[in-house]
Structure 1
Amino acid sequence: MVTQTDFRVRYSETDGQRRAHHSHYPVWFEMGRADFCRQAGFDYKHLENTGFFLVVARLECQYKSPLEYDDLVRVETRLISLSRKLMTFSYRVINITQNEKLAGEGETLLVCVDREGRPASLPPDVSERLQSCMTPSKGKIHASLSGG
């Protein structure tokens, strides 16, 4: 499954040159990841209410071309690997305003933890929903963890 999250670059997300500041890409990744989970049939609030949390353990982002104030942007999100406690999402940030030019891409590795912050297995219902939505791929973060 690939989800698409569309939005416009807000003025507050830009720097002195009216270009999107690099610090907003992780926030946009999180927006895409939250949409992905909702479309998979659960949300963070549900997961947290059951005592589990998804913590970003690693983030990678590559910037390809600038985004500017008011550009229409799409974040495409995929779940590319999943284990009992770990999951890797990949993202493509696309500038729709500029003929769907690639603006950036990245990955996040998330760890499921319990209320005490200890690594924990995902609840079975969440794991099953995510497994059915996965697009297997050896992303950079996954490959580095598995030695590949």
Structure 2
Amino acid sequence: MKTKTTFIARYSETDQMGIIHHSTYPVWFEVGRTNFLKTAGHSNTDIESRGILLPLYEMNCQFKVPAKFEDELIVETCIKNISRVRVIFSYKVINCSNHTLIATGETMHAWTNHSLKPINIEKVASDIYLSLMRVFKE
């Protein structure tokens, strides 16, 4: 499964050169990931209300061409890999008007409890694990 989250680049996201600042991309990845989880049937609020957290432990981003103020963009999000203790999300940022690939990236997350102790998501919340496994295989 892949979700597509569309939005317009805001002026506050630009730098002095008039392009989207690199610090904005993690925020866009989070928007895409939040939409992905909700589409998969488990919102962040629902997951966290069950005592489960998904902290980020690693992230990367490769910039291809600059995005600019008022560009209409899509963040395509999918699961690259999932296990009982981790999940890796993959992202593509695409300009809607010319279908140019703006950036790619990944975020790596661990399943933990509120004390940030690693958990086995299949044992703690098998419904979340099974539904994410199902969309991963789609």
TM-score by length of 1: 0.88
Q: Percent identity?
A: 38
Alignment deviations for residues 63-101 of structure 1 (CA, whole Å, 9 cap, x no partner): 00000000000000010111001011100000113x110
Match of 2:66 in 1: 66
Amino acid paired to 1:108: T
Match of 2:23 in 1: 23
CA distance in 1, matches of 2:48, 2:78: 22
The answer on 1:108 being equivalent to 2:100 is no
Structure 1 unaligned residues grouped into runs of 5+ = 137-148
Instruction: Note the C-alpha offset of 1:3.
Output: 0.3
In the alignment, is the contact (CA less than 8 A) between 1:80 and 1:135 conserved in 2? no
Match of 1:48 in 2: 48
4+ residue stretches of structure 1 with deviation over 2 A? none
Amino acid paired to 1:107: E
How many residue pairs were aligned? Answer: 135
Query: Which secondary structure does the structure 2 equivalent of 1:79 belong to?
Result: strand
In the alignment, is the contact (CA less than 8 A) between 1:78 and 1:135 conserved in 2? no
Match of 1:95 in 2: 95
Match of 1:11 in 2: 11
Amino acid paired to 1:6: T
The answer on 1:84 being equivalent to 2:94 is no
Query: Which secondary structure does the structure 2 equivalent of 1:131 belong to?
Result: helix
CA distance in 2, matches of 1:44, 1:84: 18
